[in-house]
Amino acid sequence: MKHYRYTTVLLTILGFIACKQDNNHGGTGVNKFEPLPAYFNGEKMFIRNAGVDLHKTVVLNGITDTSVISGTDSTAVQDLLKPFTDIDLNKPSLRDEYDSSSLYDPFSGRKSVIYTSRGTQTFPSEITMELDKNGVIQQVNIHGYNTNMVYEFRQDLLYQRNQHIRIATYQKIAFLAPKQIEINVAMTPKTRM
């Protein structure tokens, strides 16, 4: 009985220490990783102000639908970028879950930054960013998957600044048919009527 009390007290103390460390995360306000939600919120404004049309093609389980959306339609742009803005590696729950590496091209001044998950079930599993010589993100690739005995989910996201957006999702639940959706959006200068 005494052993049980000591174990309970020890676990309680460790719990308080862990909570205290989580609340002090960072302290300086500096993010360890690129703040992707802030970047994509800025891109929403960039797309709305760029005067572009969004040529959207959706393929759902083999059935294709196309449409043209104005880049000034803030709701459509927000919905389109939502999978990207939902990715935030700076959340306290993801601390120490990713490794970071980068490659620098001395000839062009471009830089590639890669965030790779340390765990097998962390979402996303990898993020690759291409930055121009001024440090502005020009392309973001996000790959993720989750799987267990009854569920499989894969998602690939691609954002090319002022050019292209691609969202590909595969979902399989045990005993049900798999669902696949692919959304491709080409950004083109607004057509004049």
Domain boundaries, the chain: 33-189
To the nearest 10°, report the CA torsion of 85, 91, 95, 97.
-30
Contact in structure between 36 and 167 (CB atoms under 8 Å): no
pLDDT at 120: 66
Residues of the chain with pLDDT under 50: 1, 3-4, 6-29
pLDDT at 148: 86
pLDDT at 193: 54
pLDDT at 22: 35
Contact in structure between 174 and 149 (CB atoms under 8 Å): yes
For residue 9, count other CB atoms closer than 10 A to its CB. Answer: 10
Which residue in the block uniquely carries the two structure tokens 């970071």? Answer: 100
Residue 115 and residue 123: Cα distance in Å, rounded? Answer: 11
pTM above 0.85, yes or no: no
Residue 160 and residue 135: Cα distance in Å, rounded? Answer: 15
pLDDT at 155: 94
pLDDT at 119: 77
Contact in structure between 162 and 187 (CB atoms under 8 Å): yes
pLDDT at 9: 44
Angle at 64 between CA 63 and CA 66, to 5 degrees: 155
pLDDT at 25: 36
